[in-house]
Structure 1
Amino acid sequence: MGIFDKFKSQARNKGKQGSDTAEQRMNERTGGKYEDQVDSGQQRAEDSLGMDRDRDRNRPEQQ
């Protein structure tokens, strides 16, 4: 894995953490009332930013 791949992976992980934190806070503020809508919005945002969770899990590590 090259140095740029490591930076890219770290940036993706930071973005995912921020997205998850935002989702959690929204669910706390609304009491979970809009949990499905918040989750759907989070998935759309991550997809548009290229942070597809399944793609990351299914991709083998390159060395």
Structure 2
Amino acid sequence: MGIFDKLKGNKAARQKAHQGSDAAEKQINERTGGKYEKQVDTGQQQAEERLGMDRDRPDQQ
């Protein structure tokens, strides 16, 4: 069982991964002054999709 299987099967691990992903996005946006916010958000969503961490994000398109 690999790390990605743990994310898919374990709700607590998935939540922790989401929190880490959100924290990374926030830190990058702070360091760049929000200049690349749209690109960072797109990258975060794509990374989460590939890791099987899809989630509904109605506030972000």
Same fold (TM over 0.5): yes
Higher helix share: 1
How many residues matched?
48
* Equivalent position of 2:34 in the other structure: 32
Q: CA RMSD in A?
A: 1.0
TM-score (norm 1): 0.74
Q: Distance in 2 between matches of 1:22 and 1:53?
A: 17
- SS of residue in 1 equivalent to 2:10: helix
* Equivalent position of 1:12 in the other structure: 14
Higher Cα Rg, which structure: 1
- Deviating above 3 A after TM superposition, structure 1's stretches of 4 or more consecutive aligned residues are none
Q: Distance in 2 between matches of 1:35 and 1:12?
A: 23
Q: Distance in 1 between matches of 2:19 and 2:50?
A: 16
Q: Distance in 2 between matches of 1:27 and 1:53?
A: 21
1:7-50: CA deviations, max 9, x gaps?
A: 70000000000000000000000000000000000000000000
Q: Give the share of equivalent positions with the same residue, in percent.
A: 67
TM-score (norm 2): 0.76
